[in-house]
Amino acid sequence: MEVRVGGKSYTKIKDTAKRYDEGKEKPVIISKTSEIQRKKLEHLMKNIHKPVNIPNRPKEWKPPNPKEFVHNVMGSSAGAGSGEFHVYRAIRKRTIQREEYLDNQKKKDKEVVGFEERVAENKAKEEAKTAKKRNKRQRRKAKLKKLKLEGKLKKTENNDSESDNRNSESESEKRKKYRLRLCVDTTA
């Protein structure tokens, strides 16, 4: 039994290795699709410098444009010949397909516009957040600078250096003091 995959033929043979001479390649028994893929990859890797043809994506189906004028169509009404109904039915089918295609295009366009709006909205929110945090950092820096100039901060630094020497404060107390230094009385 011979299996053809991508232009290459693979032979499924059981217990027939006697037929082949020792000089020829023995047939490969393929039982899984992964083996077919492996064989394809081995074939590609034999000559690395040979360009590989990767097919482009197929274009999206688009219905043909409607005919400008349809001759002698009586429709499904009385008096129409037996062959005319099939012509009417084919035209009706094409118009329904065209309408469905246009509806799907409209939905896709709405989804794209909605997605772009959400992205812009999220970006604006993030910008507002970062601006708020930036202002907070700048205020804190300005306050520290002002306190350094006044000399208030130097006193707390001296107290901190004494407490470091003593090593009697716990880590959590050090953090509290540091926070207090950063957020010194806003009324001052």
pLDDT per residue, tens digit, the chain (188 aa), is: 455 666 666 555 444 444 555 556 666 677 888 888 888 888 888 888 888 888 898 888 888 888 777 666 565 566 667 777 787 888 889 999 999 999 999 999 999 999 999 999 999 999 999 999 999 999 999 988 888 888 765 565 555 555 555 555 567 777 666 666 665 554 44
Residues 29-39: b if buried by 16+ CB within 10 A, e if exposed: ebeeeeebeeb
| Residue 182, C-beta contacts closer than 8 angstroms, at least 6 positions apart | 140, 144
